[in-house]
Amino acid sequence: MKFKTIIEPFKIKSVESLPITTPEEREGYLKREHWNVFGLKSQEVTVDLLTDSGTGSMSSEQWAAIMRGDESYAGSHSWQRFHDVVSDLTGYKHIIPTHQGRASEKILATITVKEGDIIPSNSHFDTTRANFEFVKAEALDLLCKEGLDLLSPSPFKGNIDLDKLEKILKEKNEKIPFVLMTITNNTGGGQPVSMENLKKVKELCGKYNKMFLLDACRFAENAWFVSQREDEYKDVEIRDITKEAFRLADGCTISLKKDGFGNIGGILAFNDDDLAEQARNLLILTEGFPTYGGLAGRDLDALAQGLKEITDKNYLEYRARSISYLGEKALSFGIPIVQPAGGHALYIDAKTFVPHIPSHEYPGHSVACEIYLIGGVRTVELGTLAFGVAGENGKPDEPSTHELVRLAAPRRTYTQSHFDYVAEVLEKLAENKEKLKGYEIIEQPKQLRHFTAKLRPL
Ligand code: F0G
């Protein structure tokens, strides 16, 4: 029997209380932090949708695994358990543990990329891009045209444009160290990549003799969408879809703070012996010995358990449904969102929602502040404040392509009533939208300004 109500497929054993604040208090907190939500203290935030990274809840089995943690410096039992799970899941020959995704990216960029190289991808995540640009290479996004059209739904908006990929592989072959596919595509709205697209990327990489890597932070969410949207996979177990996806590539980087169900952790993995050796040599300098990377034995054990739990289809169904439910509510209030809703987050298109606020007055930031002021819900702007280029000598900023606000859901942390509460906040946001005003920056650092910039409302 199929029920209409999709329940959280877990019960709660340990709770953490949430602060309930007044509108006056919230205004005071934001003002104190110069209207930057990154400055808020967590005890001033009622529902925190800033990120899904490292913010999930561990299961009782994971907490039990923590107690099994073996803190031997080399060859710990925790490492063996972690290694067995990751190698069964991914099939890669060499598994290298790191403390988080960007540590894997840093090592990858150092050993494989040189000045003038080009790394084609569906879309690079910011830290991935920054690590490649740091070694003066070009991080090239080749997202398919469906992915570029924010507001129209399409099943696999994370796919890469295969014609563009082939063209660059042909024309700039010697400049390309590898192709990197991000699953799901965070930058483009948490959208999945089809198995068909991954198989074609593999084929092209074979034809042009290039290594194929995955940025697989949200591999289980990607597999869930594949099972729902790609006919050939509708009766395939999620675990088997993820195994097949990993085996199409020659290696991966993963931030285990997402689909590892971890609060910290990462992986760098290769089939290539020589690359793995170089990576391990660098790992020892920057992270730690190859059987723990940047992690404690107990972390490795919690992650090994998390990686077993993440492909549970009941969990993935509840997760995808919470976000698509919020998406349906937003649309019903007339709030334009990236469609369909993503695997880990809902993205509001602020450019379409508040067209009276120009890019250089940060429409996404204005929406994010308003969402906090209404209900203490913290979200993040992904628009000109985060990605634009600051204008010099009083000139306006160079805007970013999109003005998005991301509502990212921590894993297994919030229940249906929390999502109903957030929906109510969005309803009030829609009622207030004409009143929203732009912001100006009064102080900003040279890099990554959105984390610490000081602003004021116009
Ligand atoms: N790749 C993707 C696709 C990501 O979303 C992230 C992190 C990383 C790599 C880097 O991993 O944080 O462990 O170093 N995304 C977080 C976010 C920060 O909020 O989207 P990390």
Nearest CA to ligand 1 atom 11: 101
Structural domains counted in the chain: 2
- Residue 16 included in any domain: no
Looking at the structure, tell me whether residues 357 and 280 fall in a common domain: no
- Report the separation in Å between the CA atom of 47 and the middle of ligand 1, taken as the mean of its atom positions: 20
Looking at the structure, tell me whether residues 261 and 148 fall in a common domain: yes
Nearest CA to ligand 1 atom 21: 101
Q: Which of 8-22, 113-127, 335-349, 381-395 has the lowest mean pLDDT?
A: 381-395
Provide the pLDDT confidence category of residue 448 given band limits of 50, 70 and 90: confident
- Quote the pLDDT of residue 377: 98
- Between CA 100 and CA 79 the distance in angstroms is 16
The pTM score is 0.97
- Quote the pLDDT of residue 296: 98
- Report the separation in Å between the CA atom of 102 and the middle of ligand 1, taken as the mean of its atom positions: 7
Which tokens hold the place of 117?
């190289």
Nearest CA to ligand 1 atom 5: 186
Query: E strands, 50-108, where?
Result: 94-98
Count CB atoms within 10 A of the CB of residue 118. Answer: 18
Where among 253, 288, 309 does a domain terminate? 309
- Report the separation in Å between the CA atom of 309 and the middle of ligand 1, taken as the mean of its atom positions: 20
Encode pLDDT of 128-156 as tens digits. 999 999 999 999 999 999 999 999 999 99
Looking at the structure, tell me whether residues 151 and 296 fall in a common domain: yes
- Residue 128 included in any domain: yes
Where among 254, 274, 309 does a domain terminate? 309
- Residue 194 included in any domain: yes
Looking at the structure, tell me whether residues 331 and 390 fall in a common domain: yes
Nearest CA to ligand 1 atom 10: 101
Looking at the structure, tell me whether residues 423 and 380 fall in a common domain: yes
- Between CA 86 and CA 262 the distance in angstroms is 14
Where among 247, 275, 309 does a domain terminate? 309
For residue 319, what is the domain's CATH number?
3.90.1150.10
- Report the separation in Å between the CA atom of 177 and the middle of ligand 1, taken as the mean of its atom positions: 22
For residue 183, what is the domain's CATH number?
3.40.640.10
Encode pLDDT of 226-278 as tens digits. 999 999 999 999 999 999 999 999 999 999 999 999 999 999 999 999 999 99
Looking at the structure, tell me whether residues 304 and 316 fall in a common domain: no
- Between CA 157 and CA 349 the distance in angstroms is 16
- Report the separation in Å between the CA atom of 218 and the middle of ligand 1, taken as the mean of its atom positions: 10
Across the chain, mean pLDDT equals 97
- Residue 11 included in any domain: no
Looking at the structure, tell me whether residues 304 and 328 fall in a common domain: no
Which tokens hold the place of 105?
């990216």
C-beta of 344 in contact with ligand 1 (< 6 A): no
Encode pLDDT of 273-300 as tens digits. 999 999 999 999 999 999 999 999 999 9
Nearest CA to ligand 1 atom 12: 101
Annotate 186-247 with DSSP letters as a single string.
Answer: TTTTSB---HHHHHHHHHHHHHTT-EEEEE-TTHHHHHHHHHHH-GGGTTS-HHHHHHHHHH
Looking at the structure, tell me whether residues 282 and 402 fall in a common domain: no
Q: Which residues contact 14 (CB under 8 A, 6 or more apart)?
A: none
1 has a pLDDT exceeding 80: no
- Residue 18 included in any domain: no
C-beta of 100 in contact with ligand 1 (< 6 A): yes
Per 3-state DSSP, the chain is made up of helix, strand and coil in percentages (nearest 5) of 45, 15, 40
Looking at the structure, tell me whether residues 134 and 233 fall in a common domain: yes
Looking at the structure, tell me whether residues 120 and 262 fall in a common domain: yes
Nearest CA to ligand 1 atom 2: 125
Looking at the structure, tell me whether residues 155 and 87 fall in a common domain: yes
Provide the pLDDT confidence category of residue 367 given band limits of 50, 70 and 90: very high
- Residue 250 included in any domain: yes
- Report the separation in Å between the CA atom of 267 and the middle of ligand 1, taken as the mean of its atom positions: 12
Encode pLDDT of 399-423 as tens digits. 999 999 999 999 999 999 999 999 9
Looking at the structure, tell me whether residues 336 and 263 fall in a common domain: no
- Residue 254 included in any domain: yes
- Residue 273 included in any domain: yes
Which domain does 90 fall in, by range? Answer: 60-309
